[in-house]
Chain A
C-alpha cells in the first residue's frame, strides 16, 4: 500500500521518478527545478535508486545525454526550467522526432529579460511546438500521478513520444503538501518494465537520425504528427487504467461548477485552486460562474474542451505568458482555434496575469469575471488585456 506523506512537491516528484525504476537521469541545476534533481542524486548516492545520475555541464547536454540513453534502451528522466529549457530546446525537437520516450518535469518559470527566477508559463509556451506530450499539474498529488502516467504513456508502443509534466515554479514546486505516494508494487502494476521497440544494439545495427532529403522530410513530419494525434486516446485510456489502480480519475479537461455556468474562467496550472476559491465566493454571491482547467496541453483536447465550454455565454481565458502575436496569449489562441469551426461559440476575452512571479489572487479572478461581463455588455471586440499592472 502507498502512504500519505507531508512532503515538498519537488521531493515527492523525485520520489515518484525513483519508484518508476528510472535507469538514466541527466540534469543540470537550474532554479526552481533544483530540488528535484538534488533529491534524485541523493536517492542514487544512498543506493535507494539503481540509476546512472549524470551531472552534465549544461541543459543542452542534459537532453543530448537523455537522447543517447533513451536510444540505447534506458528509461530516462530529466528536469529543467526557463533559461535552461531554452538552451535545451534544440534537442527537444530531435527527441520527439526520434520518437524517444524521455520523461521530463518542467518547473515553469519566466524567461529573461529581465531575469526572473519566479513562476509564469513563458517556458511552457516556448516549447509548445516541440512535439512532446505535455500535461500541466495543479497540485502535488497531480505532479506525482502525472509523472507516473507520463512514463506509462510515453513508453506505450502505440505512442513512443517524449512527455513533459509541467508544474509551477515555487508556488507549487516548493510547497509542502500531503501527497499519496504509491509503493513499488502499485507502481509495477501500472507501469510495466520499459521494453524499447528499437535501440542502438551492435547485434542488430540500425541507423538513427539520418539525413532527411526533401524527398522524405515531409513524410517523416506527417508520420510524427499522426503518431502525436494517435497518442490522445492512449493518454485517456491510460488515465482510465490509472483510476482502476489508484482510484483517482483524470481527464484532459477538468471542470468545476461549469455545467450550468453563464461565465467560465479557463486556467492552466496551480492558479486553478485559487480560481476554485474565487468561483465558490462568486457562486455564494449568486453569480453563475464556473471553472474549466486544461490538464492536457499537448496534444490539445479540442473536442473535450468544446464540450466543457459550449454551454457558457462568455469565457475568460487566463494566460500566464505573453504571446506577442498582438492578438491573444498562447492559451487563448488555442481556445479560439478550438471553437472557430463550431456552430456556436461563446464570447471570449483573454486576460494575461501572473507574469514573473506576480501573485494571482481570488480578487484577480473576481476582477476578471467583472471585466468580462462588462466587456460583453458593451460589445467590445474579443481581445486581450494584461491585468494587475502597476501604472
Chain B
C-alpha cells in the first residue's frame, strides 16, 4: 500500500447533511458577484478547518481578501509575492517541523496550504511549485484556475483554453484568440511522483471538500487543481457560475479525477457527455468561434478524455463518487 492509500484507509467523507459550520474565510471580502474562485476557496477552507496556515500568491484571492486594515482571514495568512507561494509555505512548514522537534512549540498537527491562480501556478510560479513538490514538504497546494490573469485585467495564461478571447489573446482577422491548448498542470504535478493529486470543481462541493480533506491527511505534498469560473473574465451572467462549472465536467472539458500514489482514478465517468458547444456558448469569451473551430475543440476534448480513461486504473461508475452533490 502506498503512502497516500495508507493515510486514507480510514477516510471519512463529509456528510451533506452536516457540513462544518466554521468559515475560516469569512464573508465580507471584495470578490466579484458570482466569483467561482472565492466559492472554491471557501469550500477549501471549510474542509481544512482552522488549524491551518495559509500562504497566498498575488492574485484575485489575495487582493479581495486582504486590503489593509481589513482581512477576510480567520486563520494565519501570509502573502509575499506572485510566484513563490510554494516556496513560502516550504519555509513555514520547515519552521514548524524544526521548532516542534526542538520543543520550542507543540503544534504538530498544523496543516499548511499554499494557493495561487493559474498564472501563479502554470506560468510564473511553476518553478517554485516544482521545487517544493520535489523536496517533499508536507503541504497542500491549490491552483484556483480561472484560466487567465483576471486580477490584472483578463490576460491570457498558459492555462487559458484554446480559442478563448482574452485581452492579450484577442480574436482578429489573423487570430483565433488563444492559440495554444491548455497546459495540464495536474499531470505535471503528478509527474513529480507526489502522493496525492486531484482535480475538483466548486459545482461538486462535497467531492471538492473530500479531496481537500484527503490532501491534508496525506503526508508529503498534495496538489489540487480547482476549476474556478470567472463571470467577469469569461463573460457570462453572474448567476451561472455553478452551471458553467457543472457543464465543464459534464462536457468532459474539465474531468474530475484523483491520482493516489501514482494511480489515476476517475471521480465520475461521463457516459453521456453534453456537447462542448453547450459549454462554450454560455460564455462570450468563445463567441467568435466558428462551427469548424468548435468541432476542433470537441475532437480535442474527446481525445484528451480517452487518454485520461486509459490512464485510470479503476474508473468509477458514472455518478458514484459524488452522487450526493449531484442531487
Contacts and interface: CB of A to CB of B under 8 A. Distances in A.
Contacts of B98: 23-24, 50-52, 74
A55 B77 CA distance: 24
Contacts of B110: 202
A74 B98 CA distance: 8
B53 A200 contact: yes
Contacts of A212: 68
Interface residues of B, number: 49
Interface in B89-134: 89-99, 101-102, 104-105, 107, 110, 127-128, 130-132, 134
Given A56-B131, A211-B66, A213-B68, A90 B94 contact: no
B167 interface: no
Contacts of A23: 95, 98-99, 102
B83 A54 contact: no
A64 B80 contact: yes
Contacts of B131: 56-58, 61
B84 A206 contact: no
A334 to B, nearest CB: 29
Contacts of B132: 61
B77 A54 contact: no
Contact of B73 (A58, A74, A98, A207): A207
Contacts of A213: 67-68
A210 B66 contact: yes
Nearest to B84: A64
Contact of B90 (A54, A73, A201, A206): A54
B69 A69 contact: no
A5 interface: no
A67 B91 contact: yes
Contacts of A65: 87-88, 90-91, 94
Contacts of B300: none
Nearest to A90: B81
Given A50-B101, A60-B87, A64-B91, A208 B81 contact: no
B62 A211 contact: yes
Contacts of B90: 26, 54, 56, 61, 64-65, 68
Contacts of B99: 23, 72-74
B153 interface: no
B81 A200 contact: no
A390 B71 CA distance: 60
A247 interface: no
A89 B62 CA distance: 22
Nearest to B75: A205
Interface in A304-322: none
Contact of A55 (B78, B93, B135): B135
A131 to B, nearest CB: 15
B198 interface: no
Interface centre among B66, B75, B88, B110 (most CB of A within 10 A): B88
Contacts of B53: 72, 200, 202
B190 interface: no
B52 interface: yes
A208 B68 CA distance: 10
B96 to A, nearest CB: 6
Nearest to B69: A216
Sorted nearest first, the 7 A-B pairs with minimum C-beta distance are A68-B91, A57-B131, A72-B95, A64-B87, A69-B91, A74-B95, A64-B84
9 contacts: A24-B94, A52-B94, A64-B87, A65-B91, A68-B55, A73-B99, A74-B91, A74-B99, A216-B68
Interface of B: 50-53, 55, 62-63, 66-69, 71, 73-81, 83-84, 87-99, 101-102, 104-105, 107, 110, 127-128, 130-132, 134-135
